[in-house]
Structure 1
Amino acid sequence: MQKVQNKKRKIILVAAVSLAVMVFLALTVSVSEVVVTGNEKYTEEEIAKILFPDRMSKNSLLCFLKNRLQEHVQIPFVEDYEIIFHGPGQVEVIIYEKSVVGYVSYMNSYMYFDKDGIIVESANEALLGVPLVTGLKFGQIILYQKLPLEKEEIFPEILALTQILTMNEMQVDRIEFGAYDEITLYLGDLEVLLGNGGNLNDKISELNSMLPQLEGHGGILHLEDYDDANIRAGYTLEPKSKGTD
């Protein structure tokens, strides 16, 4: 009987020690390596700093439980993210970014919209690589609702233009729509007049091919009448008048 009790005590002791070791390791092992994928608007270091800002947040066990049981941290321009553990101290963060094609200025904020015209984000700073769209008339803007354009028929033109720019891997600072819906692109000191939106593919393609030669030069580039099928309908580059934006 005594031997049985001693054996039970040993089993309990071993189990208690094992549990204590496991708890100790769980509470002391920290995330030391973070790999981030799917991120374009943030660097790997920025994402790591947002998700693991202090020593406690880097604890592997707490990080695992928090990721499973709590709502994810809200990150501007990020739809959601996943945290995958590849080891006690190794995690991979998969970022699913919101798709934005442009933004408008509204009440001291920048309102970003997606390809469907839905306002997906509000921010106080301009996002690099996303064009500001000016010259539009719209009503009250509400987050997660469609941009209330006075001329809704102009949005397909905005989408087509941003898609063509993306396909040509071109970044512009601003897209302006004039009183008669004529389009002007702003790239640094270069102002590009595209006219009323016709033949956009050829115009943007030609502009893209000219950019290396235009680097460092300012002025107004006239592409309103450019037609790839008609070599006579070309383009001209003129200097800006003093005081012209």
Structure 2
Amino acid sequence: MDNNRLPHASDYEYKKGVKQSNLRQNYSGNYNYSYNDYKQGEEPPMRSARSAKQVKKRPSQGAAQRERERRKAAERAAREKEARKEKQKRDRLLQREKERKLRIKKRKKRIRKAKRLFRAFVILLRNILIVMSILAAIAGTLYLIYDKVFTIKEIKYSGNKWVSDETMTSYIFKGQSKPNLIRFYLSDKFKDKKSIPYVETYEVHCDWPNKLVINVYEKEVIGCIRKDNLYYYIDKDGILLDVTNTKKEDVMIIQGVSVTDYEINKSMGATESILKDIFEIKKQLDKYNLSFEEVNFDYKSEYVLRKGGLYISLGKGEYLVEKLFELSQVYYELPGTGTLHLENCSGQKKNLYFTAD
């Protein structure tokens, strides 16, 4: 009998009658039996010996325990993984539900806000319509007052000698059939004044509700230059003011002064010193209420006044104030024709004489 074979279940059948004391254990922990262990005349059944390769080695108790623990750990890990998946799934569902509720809440909030805005817009529109209606009523009332009460009915001018009242009105209220005092007052305050021939400026005084008083300040007309049957009126600065085909009264004709330009509201190009002397002559004549038809600047650069057949020789443009004062003293004693010589008069000398024609 092979002592190295593994025990077999059938071996226990032959243990009958075998002494327990004769049972011995080999080094591998298996129980082996010898022929002496059996009853006399009995032989153990013969079994074919198996090779070591055909024998499966049973795992030890520690390895089996570890295998069971490994399986339990694997099962536990699988359950935990499944639980995590379920938890993640529930979390996703909860998150989607939360987002859905949040979207619904925001949509409801937007709807409420839109309704509030719409109600506010309706209220605002209604208030605007009410205010516009009130303003329209007020505007209509004001227009009636503006049109009826403040329409200018009377205009008074003062200080205008060369420009007529009708001309002033046509320039100031150009294109207005019914001038209004309020509109004119505002335009006069915030706009430039109209450019009017002979007029330096004018001042407007409102006599509410429908009257105007206009003070006119005219330019100083020193005379006119005659050319081609036309009369060119100039001021003290040599600016051409107006052109007419008839001569105005009390305006001297200026002879012997050369000019270069005949455009209205521009300088005619006369010599400044000559204009200054003529202006001084005009001022002194107005001072003494004297009038002459012409002032001639002759080839000798001397000034000669003429009225009909009476000539006043003033000489150079020196001591004009003194010379014209002497003229005022003897003017009304002079005959209708002849020449009064004032060339040699000065502040100290009164050397004047008269020559008859």
Q: Same fold (TM over 0.5)?
A: yes
* 1:37 Cα deviation after fit: 3.6
Kept in 1, the 8 Å contact 2:242–2:264? The answer is yes
2:269 paired residue number = 148
Kept in 1, the 8 Å contact 2:240–2:267? The answer is no
Q: 1:51 to 1:153 in 2, by over 3 A?
A: closer
My pick for the range that moved more, 178-187 or 91-100, is 91-100
Per the alignment, in what secondary structure is the counterpart of residue 260 of structure 2?
coil
Per the alignment, in what secondary structure is the counterpart of residue 23 of structure 1?
helix
1:104 paired residue number = 225
1:3 paired residue number = none
Amino acid of the residue matched to residue 238 of structure 1? A
Q: Distance in 1 between matches of 2:275 and 2:203?
A: 33
Q: Distance in 1 between matches of 2:306 and 2:248?
A: 16
Q: Distance in 1 between matches of 2:173 and 2:264?
A: 28
Report the structure, 1 or 2, having the larger strand content. 1
Deviations 1:78-120 (A, max 9, x none): 133343323021212232322332332345543333333x324
1:76 paired residue number = 197
* 1:67 Cα deviation after fit: 4.4
1:121 to 233, 237, 241: 241
Structure 1 residue runs of 5 or longer lacking an equivalent are: 1-8, 240-245
* 1:59 Cα deviation after fit: 3.6
Per the alignment, in what secondary structure is the counterpart of residue 224 of structure 2?
strand
Rg: which structure is higher?
A: 2
Query: TM-score scaled by structure 1?
Result: 0.69
Amino acid of the residue matched to residue 176 of structure 1? N
1:192 paired residue number = 312
* 1:203 Cα deviation after fit: 2.3
Kept in 2, the 8 Å contact 1:102–1:132? The answer is yes
Q: Distance in 2 between matches of 1:93 and 1:191?
A: 40
Report the structure, 1 or 2, having the larger helix content. 2
Q: Distance in 2 between matches of 1:32 and 1:78?
A: 24
The percent of aligned pairs where both chains have the same amino acid is 22
**Within the alignment, does 1:238 sit opposite 2:334 as a pair?**
no
**Within the alignment, does 1:222 sit opposite 2:340 as a pair?**
yes
Q: How does 1:21-32 map to 2 (within 5 A)?
A: 21-29=141-149, 30-32=151-153
Kept in 2, the 8 Å contact 1:191–1:218? The answer is no
**Within the alignment, does 1:165 sit opposite 2:262 as a pair?**
no
1:175 paired residue number = 295
Larger relative contact order (C-alpha < 8 A, sep ≥ 6)?
Answer: 1
Kept in 1, the 8 Å contact 2:234–2:242? The answer is no
Kept in 1, the 8 Å contact 2:163–2:198? The answer is no
Amino acid of the residue matched to residue 75 of structure 1? I
1:93 to 206, 214, 217: 214
